[in-house]
Amino acid sequence: MKKSLRKTDPEIYELIEAEAQRRRVGLEMIPSENHTSPAVLEVLGSILTDKYSEGYPGKRYYAGNEFIDKVENLARERAKKAFGVPHANVQPYSGSPANFAVYLATMKPGDVVMGQDLPDGGHLTHGWKFNISGTLYERAPYHVTKEGIIDFEEVRVLAKEKKPKLIWCGATAYPREFPFEEFAKIADEVGAYFAADIAHIAGLVIAGAHKSPVPYADIITTTTHKTLRGPRGALIMVTQKGLDKDPELAEKIDKAVFPFGVQGGPHNHQTAAIAVALKEAMTPEFKEYGKQVVKNAKALGESLKEQGLRLVSGGTDNHMLLADLTPFGKGTGVFAQDALDAAGITVNKNTIPKDPSSPFYPSGIRLGTPAITTRGMKEKEMKIIGKWIAEIIQEVKHCQLPETKEERIVSLKQFKKDIAGNKRLKEIKGQVAELCSRFPLPY
């Protein structure tokens, strides 16, 4: 007999309810987050989670995979169709193992990898010095200019000098369109594989709201839970260009995911949910959604600028904005993040180009529109939200980051106490909740 979670584990039930309530009355504006559909959630909670199926469709190490094979094949076919590629691996547990599989498929330890440096908006797995990608392989990071645009002069010089085996284009904090074509030219010139990591923008690519890397990249990786609006998970795709460069590339990628790489049994509930999300992403409604995400980000940017905030690169081409808070003092991102959180607006502190502070106490915040667009908000709401954000930042602008670690701990503790009692933040929190009540969550 079925028993509800509420009865079997009320503690976990209550925590899920509390989290749902936090989301109902708040604005989720971390650009890598979204609200999935009820169909995706239903599949994630399905019995598919119970099955072991190491291997690939038709070539499994365990019996009983007749239906799992069909699920995985559907997911693969939908990924191929949605992006227009000849090969897709749908098994990576998430973005980091997907990217590691790309290294295993294309590089030997000691080979050179080029990627956007982490403090410049790049990803940990693109060769950061404290990640395996920057220790097992020789890192040759490129940077952004002080205006926040990829420094192509540097990319060119570095590629010719270092002769990388792999070049990444893609980032976690880059509000401008990615120049895939230029990267492809350089990669071809120096004989490198070119991998586009489109984790942040995959949904925009399918919706036609961002240029596709398919004609230019050899390999494309993406997570499936950001603008794509699916479950946590990832895809690795090989393009026709990649297959022309290396006819064995698809096979190398599959082997690098399993059995050579870091994965074991695929998460079949996740694979099925990816298939559902991809089906949703190929609808006309999703196209509209992707375009609205970008329109909303632009409108939010304009609103923030009208209120006097400085944006890295002056604005956005995608779903994301990076606010430069150095005019309020270095390392003040944490104060802005926590004050916004207290008012029901969730963003994350983030480094800005040439950040005068550190990644743990950066001088910016990163904001995005994927989740609030899923709720149906449009330009009109972005204008209001922009005003709230700017006002909240003004409210805490007197807060400065102390120099020593000990002083910082004391100061942040006091800051949290102060904002919990701040009258204006409480008022805005009420207004945020009222706005949210008119835009219900999809689940």
Residues near ligand DSN (CB under 6 A) are 32, 95, 123, 172
Q: Least distance to ligand DSN from the beta carbon of 318, Å?
A: 12
Please tell me whether the peptide bond between 259 and the residue prior to it is cis, using omega within 30 degrees of 0: yes
Nearer to ligand DSN, 32 or 303 (CB): 32
Q: Least distance to ligand DSN from the beta carbon of 278, Å?
A: 20
Is 197 annotated as catalytic? yes
Q: Least distance to ligand DSN from the beta carbon of 366, Å?
A: 8
Tally the C-alpha atoms within 13 A of residue 325's C-alpha that lie toward its C-beta.
33
Among candidate residues 36, 125, 223, 224, the one labeled active-site is 223
Among candidate residues 80, 156, 211, 232, the one labeled active-site is 232
Is 425 marked within a binding site? Answer: no
Nearer to ligand DSN, 78 or 200 (CB): 200
Nearer to ligand DSN, 172 or 212 (CB): 172
Is 226 annotated as catalytic? yes
Note whether 388 and 302 are within 8 A (CB): no
Going by their DSSP bridges, the two strands 345-346 and 27-28 should be labelled as parallel
Residue 229 backbone phi and psi in degrees, to 5: 65, 35
| Encoded tokens for 216 | 């230019």
Q: Least distance to ligand DSN from the beta carbon of 32, Å?
A: 3
Phi-psi region of 439 (alpha: psi -120 to 50; beta: other; left: phi over 0): beta
Is 124 marked within a binding site? Answer: yes
Among candidate residues 28, 72, 117, 197, the one labeled active-site is 197
Nearer to ligand DSN, 186 or 347 (CB): 347
* CA gap 341, 334 in Å, rounded: 10
N-term to C-term CA, the chain:
25
Is 353 marked within a binding site? Answer: no
Is 227 annotated as catalytic? no
Is 56 annotated as catalytic? no
Is 96 marked within a binding site? Answer: no
Q: Which residue's structure tokens are 């196209």?
A: 287
* CA gap 212, 178 in Å, rounded: 9
Q: Report the C-alpha dihedral over residues 57, 60, 62, 64, rounded to 10 degrees.
A: 20
Is 19 annotated as catalytic? no
Annotated binding site for (6S)-5,6,7,8-tetrahydrofolate: 118, 122-124, 358-360
Residues annotated as catalytic are: 52, 54, 197, 223, 226, 232
